[in-house]
Amino acid sequence: MTLDFAGDERLQTAFADAWSRKADFEEGAAYMRGRFVPLSEATIPITDWAYRRSDVVYDVASVWEGSFFRLDDHIARFRRSMTRWRLDPPESDAQIHDIALAVVALSGLKAAYVGMDCLRGKAPRGVPSHPANAQNYLAVFARGFAWIMPPDLQERGARMMIAKTRRIAPEAVDPTAKNFHWGDMTQALFEAEDQGLDGAILLDGDGYVTEGPGYNVFAVLAGTVVTPDRGALEGMTRQSVLELCAMLNIPIEVRPISVQELEHCDEIFMTTTAGGVMPASELDGRALASTIGRQLRHRYWAEREAGWLGTPVDYEMSCDGGID
């Protein structure tokens, strides 16, 4: 495979240089400001608004058995998030695609978490201190695959709770544009930890289900799989479950879910790039079934291992910079 970075000779040369030092990237690889660097060397200035104001949008793709899952879908959602937050880095979608492949190939990781961030810097001196005047820049990195809930926990089923903390209203911060505003989710994680539980589900101000810290939420009601239609990220694994339900002839509804429905549902499961389909075994101490959740979990990983919607990584790739 040849990486040409949409004809950008600067990126081709940067990758060729990094490939000549491939041993430096075994702990992870990153791309920042036109350079490929070991993950440990990827830094941002503490004065950037990305850090000081959480002025960042991001996306996370995964590599499993050497293949990306839904890479182009992730990049398309990433671009929508950037547009929503008025961020516009110099790299095109085609270049982001090749950069993602490049950082994984450099790392050599066959199972990887691949983050794509677009960050706002700060306005230079001499111009108004307004986000419209700040530099936008891209960061893409690969590290070992990270589980929100590890496989052994998924096998027994996650013990979940309904958090007292409410989700930030979508009228304030759009959850469909994946962003760093995690104050509510962080508090919900501490609520779960304080009770010795595995995770939390957040409601909106009207008492309807939104999502959890890093995962979408599904309920099973009388054999129908239901997931919220607002107040949550439109997750790639969520979309995959909707498609799997269609394959398996499982009824699905995308609509509001009240807290009362959640409290009396038959099953709950969560979905995320960093874990796939994750069944719950209880909610606020009430035992839950997991028949459909486990069926979808096994089918999801079977489809991924078979190459469903995959983009293989060429770990001996070349580029126009002369790598064979």
Residue 63 within any structural domain of the chain = yes
pLDDT of 172 higher than 70? yes
Is residue 98 domain-shared with residue 141, that is, in the same domain?
A: yes
**Looking at 85, 110, 145, which one is the last position of a domain?**
145
User: How much of the chain, in percent, has pLDDT values that exceed 90?
Assistant: 96
Alpha-carbon distance of 89 to 82, in angstroms, equals: 9
Is residue 179 domain-shared with residue 260, that is, in the same domain?
A: yes
pLDDT of 286 higher than 80? yes
Is residue 58 domain-shared with residue 161, that is, in the same domain?
A: no
Residue 312 within any structural domain of the chain = no
Is residue 83 domain-shared with residue 19, that is, in the same domain?
A: yes
Query: What tens digit of pLDDT does each residue of 35-88 get?
Result: 999 999 999 999 999 999 999 999 999 999 999 999 999 999 999 999 999 999
pLDDT at 324: 46
Is residue 113 domain-shared with residue 220, that is, in the same domain?
A: no
**Looking at 96, 119, 145, which one is the last position of a domain?**
145
Is residue 155 domain-shared with residue 132, that is, in the same domain?
A: no
Is residue 114 domain-shared with residue 191, that is, in the same domain?
A: no
DSSP state for residue 258 in the 8-state scheme: B
| Residues near 268 by beta carbon (within 8 Å), at least 6 away in sequence | 160, 201, 217, 218, 219, 220, 262, 279, 280, 283, 288, 293
Residue 315 within any structural domain of the chain = no
C-alpha distances out from residue 308 to 303, 304, 324, Å: 5, 5, 28
pLDDT of 320 higher than 70? no
The answer to pTM > 0.85 is yes
Cβ atoms within 10 Å, residue 242: 16
Mean pLDDT of 3-17: 96
Class of residue 165 by CB neighbours under 10 A (exposed 0-12, middle 13-18, buried 19+): middle
Return the CATH number at 236: 3.20.10.10
Residue 28 within any structural domain of the chain = yes
Q: Give the pLDDT band of residue 319 (cuts 50, 70, 90).
A: low
Q: Give the pLDDT band of residue 317 (cuts 50, 70, 90).
A: confident
Is residue 301 domain-shared with residue 253, that is, in the same domain?
A: yes
User: How much of the chain, in percent, has pLDDT values that exceed 70?
Assistant: 98
Residue 283 near residue 163, CB atoms below 8 Å: no
Is residue 134 domain-shared with residue 13, that is, in the same domain?
A: yes
Q: What is the mean pLDDT of the chain?
A: 96
Is residue 110 domain-shared with residue 202, that is, in the same domain?
A: no
Region at 228 (left for phi over 0; alpha for psi -120 to 50; beta for the rest): beta
Q: Give the pLDDT band of residue 318 (cuts 50, 70, 90).
A: low
Q: Which long-range contacts (CB under 8 A, 24 or more apart) does 284-289 make?
A: 284/160, 284/161, 284/162, 288/157, 289/220
Residue 160 within any structural domain of the chain = yes
Residue 284 near residue 161, CB atoms below 8 Å: yes
Residue 290 within any structural domain of the chain = yes
Residue 16 within any structural domain of the chain = yes
- Residue 9 structural domain: 2-145
Please state the domain count of the chain: 2
Interior/surface letters 65-96, b for 16+ CB within 10 angstroms, e for the rest: ebbbbbbeebbebbbbbbeebebebebeeebb
**Looking at 91, 122, 145, which one is the last position of a domain?**
145
pLDDT at 322: 44
Query: What tens digit of pLDDT does each residue of 212-244 get?
Result: 999 999 999 999 999 999 999 999 999 999 999
- Token pair belonging to 237: 């694994």
Residue 319 within any structural domain of the chain = no
Is residue 269 domain-shared with residue 229, that is, in the same domain?
A: yes
Is residue 282 domain-shared with residue 190, that is, in the same domain?
A: yes
Query: What tens digit of pLDDT does each residue of 98-142 get?
Result: 999 999 999 999 999 999 999 999 999 999 999 999 999 999 999
pLDDT at 321: 44
What residue has token string 């998924």?
154
